[in-house]
A and B are shown apart, each in its own frame.
Chain A
Amino acid sequence: MSEIEFLSWVRGPGFQIAVIIFIAGVLIRFGEILLLGRKKNLAEAKGSEMSSGLRTIITRSIPDKTTFQRSTFTLVAGYIFHIGIFVTLFLFAPHILMFKEVIGFGWPSIPTPIIDATAVVTIIALLAVLAHRMSNTVLKFLSTKEDYLVWLVTILPLITGYIAFHRIGTTAPTLLAIHILSVELLLVIFPFTKLMHSFTVALSRWYNGAISGYRGVES
């Protein structure tokens, strides 16, 4: 298989397979959650579920002072890599082109050197959270194999993307193909791991708030 054939495969059939697994997986996982069903709450509602739920989506996304002081590193590094992934994934011109091709519309990009710098910062933040996970006794004890796998598939597209952009080591078609392949790996693993939180985070926060709202307590 030549380099260009490899690149064509990851851009074509490979991407197709990954997207099928990703979409089917995410929807089935969502179906599982939504169709679980809840027992009817026989207690009288003491407040609104909806407003408390929606408020909680926002309030739980902003750390309170005590939490921030207690887990400063986790919060700062966590926010950096989440925002970094958002910027590199959604604001880089070639990525936007890919989205435009699939979903039919695009949005403005930002200059490449900013994406480049963001990618470096994001990679450093991800390395830092791994070091923290492995050095903190409690975190290490709580970590499962899945946690490490998820970390790996998250950082791989960033590293391979950075290498492909700067053409380090080998030739450009192979580097680009490896980058796309790493994204496909992420897509395939995504629905079956805790990466699903990208979709369920709003849902679960809403639910937390809704329980409190029903009971008439502050969430």
Chain B
Amino acid sequence: MTINKDKSRFDMTLGETLRSQGISRRSFLKFCAATASMMAMSPAMIPKIAHALESARRPSVIWLSFQECTGCTESLTRAHTATIESLIFDYISLDYHHTLMAASGHGAEDARKAAMEENFGKYLLVVDGSIPMGNPGYSTIAGISNYDMLMETAKGAAAIIAVGTCATYGGIPHANPNPTGAVSVGELIKDKPIINVPGCPPIPVVITGVLTHFLTFGTIPELDHIGRPKVFYGQSIHDRCYRRPFYDKGLFAETFDDEGARKGWCLYKLGCKGPTTYNACATTKWNNGTSFPIESGHPCLGCSEPDFWDGGGFYKALSMPTENITKTAIYTAAGAVAAGVALGAMNKSKKNSATKAHNKTTIDDLEK
């Protein structure tokens, strides 16, 4: 198939765009096969994915950034090489993203409104960052509070993808004592399908995987009990960790520079949250499959779980109590001993006075 050079980039299907970028059919099919296996689909789905992606039209995407650090955007846009995943990401019509778009001020807001009107009911809404409910003035864009902008933009969205732990579960802004009253997207919007893609930041391929699924089937993937796509968040880091055999053998790094750390033993004792964290880091890895935090010697922080920031300390092992139990135990023991001694003294004095008050019974008494 030849590419129509005159065809505007906006009118091209995804297949045409990929070919115009020099992606061969073979690489494209390889990508489809990899996507199918990554998303646990049967091989019979590969041609369907290929066909759907080939003919997919650019979906309009509106990206809203609220209380966030832009780390999620950085994560998704800083791929070192142009992969098919990143091309798919490039392919979407990102109509509004105030960090990435050239327009600013009224121009930017007009772009959002135009995209909403043109694609009402069809566009994808991506949200990163939490929404402050304490005071609308805590975070505004063009004078519009985050809450108002989210509710307005969500109305015409086909589906919402909450990206990053802030948008999915409140994240760092939501951490105790939550000064801005930060809430997640899911807490505010109940009438739209929401896909939670948590992580601080989330893995780029998870986003493209979700987009691929949406482009192929027009639906959202199967989600777990807290709205995460099961294909990526179905297994814990611990269960897929390459250091797991060391955990089973009882071989642990005790500090960051001991023999165990150098030999790559399990980081459980250094506070690894792998056993309670569901994410794809251990399998898809980061930076084009280079490694993931545990592989580079740092315990998992559990960033894809709600309230990970308040999880009791990053370097405290999961089985350790989070409060100072030693102090509690000492105070309790001191109090209990004091109470015991006092009770004992009271009993003793009671006994003594009873002995003193004791009247001996004589035969005469019994004969009365």
- B269 pairs with A31, CB closer than 8 A: no
Q: How far is the CB of B12 from chain A (nearest CB, A)?
A: 42
**Is A215 part of the binding interface, using a Cβ–Cβ cutoff of 8 Å?**
no
- A97 pairs with B269, CB closer than 8 A: yes
**Is A171 part of the binding interface, using a Cβ–Cβ cutoff of 8 Å?**
yes
**Is B24 part of the binding interface, using a Cβ–Cβ cutoff of 8 Å?**
no
Q: Which B residue's beta carbon lies closest to that of A170?
A: B225
CA distance A52 to B57 in the complex (A): 91
CA distance A2 to B225 in the complex (A): 11
CA distance A93 to B252 in the complex (A): 9
Interface residue tally on A, bucketed by range: 35 or more
- B322 pairs with A3, CB closer than 8 A: no
Binds A, one of B41-49, B122-130, B302-310: B302-310
Q: Which of B268, B321, B326 is in CB contact (< 8 Å) with A15?
A: B321
**Is B341 part of the binding interface, using a Cβ–Cβ cutoff of 8 Å?**
yes
- A4 pairs with B325, CB closer than 8 A: no
- A2 pairs with B307, CB closer than 8 A: yes
- B320 pairs with A27, CB closer than 8 A: no
Q: How far is the CB of A21 from chain B (nearest CB, A)?
A: 9
CA distance A167 to B341 in the complex (A): 47
Report chain B residues within 8 Å CB of A28: 336, 339-340, 343
Contacting B at CB under 8 A, from A88-125, are 93-95, 97-98, 101-104, 109-113
**Is B179 part of the binding interface, using a Cβ–Cβ cutoff of 8 Å?**
no
Contacting A at CB under 8 A, from B298-339, are 302, 305-308, 310-312, 317-323, 325-326, 328-329, 332-333, 335-337, 339
- Known contacts A101-B320, A167-B239, A172-B236; is-contact A4 B307 (Cβ 8 Å): yes
- B321 pairs with A7, CB closer than 8 A: no
- B308 pairs with A101, CB closer than 8 A: no
Contacting B at CB under 8 A, from A57-100, are 93-95, 97-98
- Known contacts A16-B325, A111-B249; is-contact A93 B310 (Cβ 8 Å): no
- B344 pairs with A31, CB closer than 8 A: yes
Q: Is the interface of B mostly helix, strand, loop or mixed?
A: helix
**Is A43 part of the binding interface, using a Cβ–Cβ cutoff of 8 Å?**
no
Report chain A residues within 8 Å CB of B268: 93-94, 97
Contacting A at CB under 8 A, from B117-161, are none
- B248 pairs with A24, CB closer than 8 A: no
Report chain B residues within 8 Å CB of A168: none
Q: Which of B224, B248, B320 is in CB contact (< 8 Å) with A11?
A: B320
Q: How far is the CB of B332 from chain A (nearest CB, A)?
A: 4
CA distance A98 to B169 in the complex (A): 29
- Known contacts A16-B323, A24-B335; is-contact A4 B302 (Cβ 8 Å): yes
Report chain A residues within 8 Å CB of B239: 167
- Known contacts A93-B250, A109-B250; is-contact A3 B318 (Cβ 8 Å): no
Report chain B residues within 8 Å CB of A27: 333, 336-337, 340
**Is A20 part of the binding interface, using a Cβ–Cβ cutoff of 8 Å?**
yes
Report chain B residues within 8 Å CB of A97: 268-269, 317, 319-320
- A12 pairs with B323, CB closer than 8 A: yes
Among B239, B332, B333, B343, find the residue whose CB has the most chain A CB atoms closer than 10 A.
Answer: B332
- A11 pairs with B336, CB closer than 8 A: no
CA distance A102 to B302 in the complex (A): 24
Among B226, B302, B322, B348, find the residue whose CB has the most chain A CB atoms closer than 10 A.
Answer: B322
Report chain B residues within 8 Å CB of A94: 268, 317-319
**Is A19 part of the binding interface, using a Cβ–Cβ cutoff of 8 Å?**
yes
Please list the 10 inter-chain residue pairs (A to B) with the smallest Cβ-Cβ separation, ordered nearest first. A31-B340, A94-B319, A35-B344, A27-B336, A2-B306, A12-B322, A24-B336, A4-B307, A173-B276, A23-B332
21 A-B pairs, CB-CB below 8 angstroms? Answer: A3-B305, A5-B310, A7-B276, A8-B312, A11-B321, A16-B325, A19-B329, A24-B336, A27-B333, A28-B336, A28-B340, A31-B341, A35-B344, A37-B351, A94-B317, A94-B318, A94-B319, A98-B320, A109-B250, A112-B247, A172-B275
A residues near B, CB below 8 A?
2-5, 7-8, 11-13, 15-16, 19-20, 23-24, 27-28, 30-32, 35, 37, 93-95, 97-98, 101-104, 109-113, 167, 171-173, 176
Given A4-B305, A27-B336, A102-B321, 18 more A-B residue pairs with CB atoms under 8 Å apart are A2-B169, A3-B276, A4-B307, A5-B306, A7-B311, A8-B322, A11-B312, A11-B321, A19-B325, A23-B329, A24-B336, A31-B341, A31-B344, A94-B317, A101-B317, A111-B250, A112-B250, A172-B278
